[in-house]
Each structure stands twice: as structure tokens, then as C-alpha cells.
Amino acid sequence: MALLLVPLVSLVAIWAFAAWITSRGVFALFDVERVTDKIGYPVENAIEALAEERKAALVRLADPHRPGSLRDLRTAEQATDKAVGVVRDNSRNADLRNRLDAASLHRLDGLVAQAADLETVRRKVDDGQIATTAAFTAYNDEIDPYYSFFHGLNPLQSVALDRQARVLTELSRGREAAAREDAVYSAGLAAGRLTHAQQLQFADAVAQRRLLFDTYPQLLPASDSRLFDDYWNSATGRALRSAEDRIVGADVDAHPEPGSSDGLVVSAGDWQATAGSVLGDLASLDRQAAENYKGRVTPFAVGVLVKAGVAGGFGLLAVLVSVVVSLRTGRSLARDLSALRKEAQEASGTRLPRVMRRLAAGEEVDVDTEVPRLEYPEDEMGAVGRALNTLQRAAVEAAVRQADLRRGISDVFVNLARRNQVLLHRQLTLLDTMERRTEDARELADLFKLDHMTTRMRRHAEGLVILSGAAPSRQWRKPVPLMDVVRAAVAEVEDYERVEVRRLPRIGVAGPAVADITHLVAELIENATVFSPPHTTVQVHGERVANGFVLEIDDRGLGLTPDALLDANLRLAETPEFELSDTDRLGLFVVSRLAQRQGVRVSLRESPYGGTTAVVLIPTALLTEGIGDSDTGEQRAPAAVARQAVREPAGDRGLPDEIELPVTDGGGDEAFREWGLVAEAPCEEVPARTRRFEIAEQRADRLGLAPATDRSARPEGPEPSARPDAPVPLPRRRHAPVLVADNGRTVDGVRRTTAPGGDAAGREQRPAPQATPGGLPRRIRQASLAPQLRADDTTRTRTATPGAAAPATDDRDADEVRSRMASLQRGWQRGREEADDLTVPDRPTGPGGDDTGTTSEGDGR
């Protein structure tokens, strides 16, 4: 509509200007009629009254004692006052003044102001202090401005009519000249003689009258001009001319003497009859000429009105037609624009977001179905519609191509991550074999560190899979104790020794959610350790709530600003689309993706220590009841699926105990079959305890040392051998996080046992060792040695009683004695350091920077 408003307003402005131009003549006609009625006729009456008063004053001055002269003067003065009063009153009318132009208003105000001078002339006449000729001039000066006012009174828009109006004014002035003749000669008759000055005034008036009547009637139309010509050719006109000639030609001395001529060549009776008749006839002729003028003005006024009406009417009609056409065109444009706007809004607000959501969900999108090619009319709006449709298709096509590109990138990431996982699984298997084979404690500690580092690398590779939108390959079929899940998460953290895990209730996590919950908690604990000082601890505790179970992870770092905390919580709650440019918060994105997948709610808040607390709400649907605690329960893992071991390095502290997490169920076979990680034939279940722990016990038995850890939970039955074609083991953690009771004291958990399982690789059944009265395990000599290394063949089969130990050999070489003594020394040193750890949290390392021979039990972290 704004486009149509400009030409419409321009058309209306042009029509208004044309209407004003044409109607101005109509308004001028109305003004002429109004002004003529209000001021024209009153001014004419004032002129006639002043002429009568002038004659009476001159007669009074010529013969003060003449009977009736004073009465005639007073009567004339009253008539003049009345006529001038009407002019004065009408000049104050606001409507009249609005209809007059500036020049006419100025002359009218001059008339009203000059009327005050008339009193001065009258006073001089009454006192006889003014001469006749002076009085004649004074009254003439009062009358002349009235004729000047007539000349500029609202001229018409017609040149001919305006000229005729001016001619009528001049003819009226000619009648005034005849009245002046009458006044001068009447004064001479009253005085009994005509002075030379009076004769000059008379002659001047005659010349003026004849000039006006001889000139201006010719400018009138023929009918009016003929009226004046006929009159002056009549007897009355000729009589006046004859009398004027005689008076002007009379011999009047400038300085008369007794007996000289008095100049009164025309008798009083003849003059009064002739002059009176002429003045009356001229007034009649003026009125008749004015009426004829009005008759000529009427057609002109009608023509002006018709022109104004036609111009205004046709202009108004054109404006109305333009308005109608503009409205129809504007509505059509508005409809088309509204349709295009709705289409654009639908595309930007509904269609494109729906396409983006479908693409984000991995669905296939057909561009022709989502954005079909629409048909538009062949006009400008149609061109805009086609361009908009093309733009929508281009946007959808770009989104599809972008989704394909991102899907390809994700597939590349997943492929790379899967390959890394295969290599990491193989590396873990190789490390397990090396840990079995090595006899050196320092090398074993380094292998454990490498084992833990490999476990962390596997978590990072799994995070890459999660970032790519795929599910991790580790899957569980059976529920897993929540304590094992938390310990497994701690085992995947670099600074696991700084983590304090308080006692958790005996509750299980559903198998399909174990991997995701473990990874989620590991990411949060990793953040807590990274963004807190190295000398502080990270506490993990939880409790049941109405909607599930809440885990809280507290750190003692610097915390987050309110804006950063709000932004992090938004990322955790909304799970935005992963952007390749946002690489500084991969952990938050992984946590958000895992939480969304399992329905877990994760939020951050300020911790009581000034750092940050991560709150993890595990819904009830992911929890199970009636499962044993990790310290007392028994876990079996199907060997038909690859096992993954979560390991923690022992550092240089010796060989601490460990726990094992659940292994994947059969659902992961397809995920690993393409890399050859699934065994061809099913194998027996494997014990929950790790092989490294047994290897450590065997070495300790060979060295004659009691292990630092509890052996009472040793599994029975043969242990599977680490053959190359066996399934890849799941990650196992060799060092459990410290279990802290609610009162803050360390709790010594009881080792869990598992049912025997696995293949029969030559290992013999071992009975569980009996415990001493003090609760310590009773060692069976040579129970951990290979059959080839035992003293004799009769003792190669392990007995079920503690006393069935093989006899010791007295032949010991120097190397064996030295090794035993060194082991004994390391055991004493480790015991002293463990005793120091109970009171000194941060103890210095041993010489050379290592902690060889120490253990992490009782560490509290």
C-alpha cells in the first residue's frame, strides 16, 4: 500500500490545487457581492451625502443671513454623519475585512480616519473662518478617497468585467464633477456674484466632467455607451452644456470694481432646473449601467461555477477511481505478499526446522517431497514466488548435503574410533600377557601404568563414538552393582587416587545403561579432578531419592561464574547439536548426549567447598533391587563375548588388589565380529578376579612373602588361559577406589568371589585357603607354582586342606636368597609407609622419586 500511497497523494494534491484555482473565481464573485452590499453601497451613499453637505456649506458661507441656509446645512450634516457612520460600522465587520485584500483594507481604514477631519471643516464653516473656495477644496478632499477605494475594490478574474467596473466608477466620478459645478455656481448665486476663483473652480469641474463622459462611456458595451451618448445629445444635456459654456465664458474680473460684471450669466431658476435635472438623470444612468453590469457578471459567474464544478467534479471522480483502483491493486498485492510471507514463515519456522530435526535424527529427506516446485503466475509477484521457492529448495538441499557431509564425517570418526578400539583391545590383551610373564616388580608397575593409560585411551575413543552419534560397543546384559559402576568410572580417571567414594547402597544398574552411566560418571569425575588443585580430593557420594538415585561429585576448585554455570547447565539439559568448532567442551557434550540417551538428569551447582558439584539423577527405571554388593556378591561374565578390562596402575607401590567390572553380553557380537573379536565357539565363564592378582600372589608365594592384599576370596576352579584366539577381555581395574563410610573412615571391603569358568588350559583346581583365627588367609606352600616347579610329582595336585603343602627344599641358591631378602625388606618398608599413610595424607616419595613396595590400600584416595 505504501507504493500506491505516493501516486495517490500526488493525484489528490493536483486535484486540490486545480479545484482551488477554479473555485477562486467563484469565491471572488461571492466576495464582490458581499463587499458591494456591505461597503460599496454605503460608500456611494456617503459620497452623495458629502456632496449635499458641501453645497449647503458653500451657500451658508456665501450668504450667512439667507433664510433656511443653516437648517439646510444641519440637515445635510446629519445625513452625512449617518452615511459615514454606516461605513465606519461596516469597516469593523470581521467577515468583510477577511474578504478584502490588504490594499482595500488600508484605503478603507483611511476613509474612517479621515472622517474625523470633517468636524474641523464644519466648525470653521459655522464660525465663518474659512473662505468659500477653501471649503470647496476641503470637502473635495473628503470625497476623493472614496473613489480611490472603489477603484481597488476586489477586481474580478475577468479583464473585461473588471474594466467595465472601473468605467462605472469613473462615470460616477463624472457625476461628482457635475455636482461640484452645481455647488460652486449655487454659492455664487447666494453671494450675488461669481468671483474669479470660483469661476476657475467651476471651469475645472466642467472640464473634468466632460473628459470623463466623453472618454469612459466608449469603454462600455454598445448598449450602455449609447445610453450616455443619447443623454448628452438630448435637450437636457445640451442645456447644461450651454449654461456651462456661458458661465465659463463670462467676463469676471479678478479684482472686481463697482459696476463690473458679476459673472452670473445664468439665472438661479434656470440653473437649478438644469443642474438638478442633470444630476438626477446621471444618477439614473449610473444605476442602469450598474444593473446592466450585473447582468453581464451573472453569466461570467455561472461560467466560473461551471468550470469549478467540472474541474472539481471530474477531479474528484478521478481521485475516487484512483482510490478504488489503488485499493483493489493494493489488496491484490497484499494478498500475494501475504501468501509469500506465510510461505516464507512456514518454510523458516516449520518446514526447515522439521527437515533439520529429521536430518539430525538420521532420517532420509527427499527434497522434492519437502519442498515441491510450485507454479506461480507470470508476473512480478510470480517471479518473487519462484525465487522464494528456489531459495527454499536451495536451503533444504544445502541442509541435506550438510547432513550427508556430517554423517560422513561421523562415520569416519566412528570408523577411526572402532579401529582404535580394536587396537586398544589388542593392546590390553598384550599387556595382560606381559603382566603375566614379567617377574620384575618395577616393570610390572610400569605395565600397570600403561594398562591404565590404555584404559583411558579407550574411554576417549568411546567418547569419539558418542560424539559421532553412535552407541558405544560395550554392552551389558545383566544388572551391575552401582558401587562397581562408580569404581569403574573412577578407574578411568587419571588422578583416581584423589577420588573418595563413600559407601553406596546395594542397588544395581540395568545392564543396557551400565556403559553409558560409567562413561558419564567418569567424565564428570575427570572434570572434577582436572579443575581442582592437585592436593585436594574429589568426593563421590549418593543417596536414594523419590525419583531414583542421586550421585553427587564434589570438587574443591575455583568453581564457575554464574554465567558459565548457567551456560553449562543449558548444554547439559538441551543436548545441542555438536559443532566441530566447539572443541573446548567435549566432555559436557558427551555427558549431555549420554544423559539424554538414558534419561539421566545432570546439573551443576556450587559445591560447599567453593568448587562445583555435579548432580546425577539416575531414574528409577535404570535401577534394580536385590543385587549383591560388589564386595560380597559374585559376578559371572559370559565368555562368548569379548571382555574388556578396566585397569588402574599400581604405580610403584606393589601389587594392590582389584575388582572386575561386568563384561558385554551377546548384544555386542555383531559390533566386534567385523574385527574378529568374537570367539568362534563359546567358552566358559571367567572368574571375576583378574589374572594379574593371581600372578602377584604366585610371585609372592615363590618369594616366601604374604601378599599385602586379602586372598580369602580366591575363586575355585580352573582359570582360563590367555590364548591368542580367546575373546578380548573387558577392561578391569586393578586398584579400587577407597571406600569411605558415612563417618569418613575407610571401610575394608570383603573381596568378592566368582564361580569358576573358562577353558581348561592346564591349570589345576585350587581349594580356597582357610583363614587363620585372626582372619588372615593361610598360605599353602607351592600352591601357586606351576606343576613343573613343585618339589615332586606327588604334590602337584592341590589338596583341599590347608596342610597339604609340599615340603620345602633346602637347596637354595644365592640369587633366590637375595631375592627373598629384598622382598622381605620391601614388605617391611611398605608396612612402615602404610602406617605413615594413616596419619600423613601426603607423604614424600621414596628415593629416586618412586614408591616401590607401597600399596594404595588405606590411602583414602
pLDDT tens profile 636-661 = 333 233 333 333 333 333 333 333 33
Q: When comparing pLDDT for 83 and 840, which is higher?
A: 83
* Burial profile 268-307: b = 16 or more Cβ within 10 angstroms, e = fewer: eeebeebbeebbebbeebbeebbebbeeebeebbeebeee
Residue 783 has pLDDT above 60, yes or no: no
Q: What is the mean pLDDT of residues 47-68?
A: 90
In a domain, 705, yes or no: no
- Who has greater pLDDT, 208 or 33? 208
Enter the pTM of the model. 0.43
833 in any annotated domain: no
The answer to whether the CB of 395 falls within 8 A of the CB of 354 is no
Which one is predicted more confidently, 294 or 783? 294
Q: Is residue 347 one of the residues assigned to a domain?
A: no
**Inter-CA distances, 287 with 291, 297, 387, Å:** 6, 15, 81
Give 262's contacts (C-beta < 8 A, 6+ positions apart): 192, 193, 194, 252, 256
CA atoms within 13 A on the CB side of 636: 9
- Asked if 399 and 443 touch (Cβ cutoff 8 Å), the reply is no
Spell out the SS3 assignment of 607-636.
Answer: CCCCCEEEEEEEEHHHEECCCCCCCCCCCC
- Whether 279 maps to a domain, the answer reads yes
- Please give the pLDDT value at position 318: 82
d(CA 240, CA 235) in angstroms, rounded, equals 9
Work out the mean pLDDT of the chain and round it to a whole number: 73
Under the banding of pLDDT at 50, 70 and 90, the label for residue 837 is low
Q: Is 638 exposed, middle or buried (0-12, 13-18, 19+ CB in 10 A)?
A: buried
Region class of 322: left (phi > 0), else alpha (psi between -120 and 50), else beta: alpha
Residue 100 lies in a domain: yes
Secondary structure string (H, E, C) spanning 694-722: HHHHHHHHHCCCCCCCCCCCCCCCCCCCC
pLDDT value for 620: 93
Is 144 part of a structural domain of the chain? yes
Which one is predicted more confidently, 563 or 635?
A: 563
What span, in angstroms and rounded, lies between the C-alpha atoms of 313 and 214? 47
The pLDDT tens digits of the residues spanning 211-243 come to 999 999 998 888 888 989 999 999 999 999 999
Is residue 842 in a domain? no
Q: Determine the pLDDT at residue 815.
A: 65
Compare 729 and 560 and report the one with higher pLDDT. Answer: 560
- Confidence class for position 825, pLDDT limits 50, 70, 90: confident
In a domain, 850, yes or no: no
Q: Calculate ∠ Cα 193-196-199, nearest 5°.
A: 85
- Conformation bin of residue 201: beta by default, left when phi > 0, alpha when psi is -120 to 50: alpha
Domain extent at residue 214: 2-315
Per mean pLDDT, which range of 22-36, 197-211, 281-295, 548-562 is the poorest? 22-36
CA dihedral 193, 199, 201, 202 (to 10 degrees): 90
- Mean pLDDT lowest for which of 114-118, 157-161, 530-534, 807-811? 807-811
Which has more confidence, 838 or 704?
A: 838
Tell whether the model's pLDDT for residue 735 goes beyond 50: no
pLDDT at position 535, please?
A: 92
Residues 548-589 pLDDT 10s: 999 999 999 888 899 999 988 988 887 666 555 555 667 788
Number of domains in the chain: 1
Pairing mode of beta strands 480-481, 508-509: antiparallel
For the cut 80, the answer to whether the pLDDT of residue 675 exceeds it is: no
Has residue 406 got a pLDDT over 60?
yes
Contact 809, 782 (CB under 8 A): no
Give pLDDT, residue 467.
Answer: 76
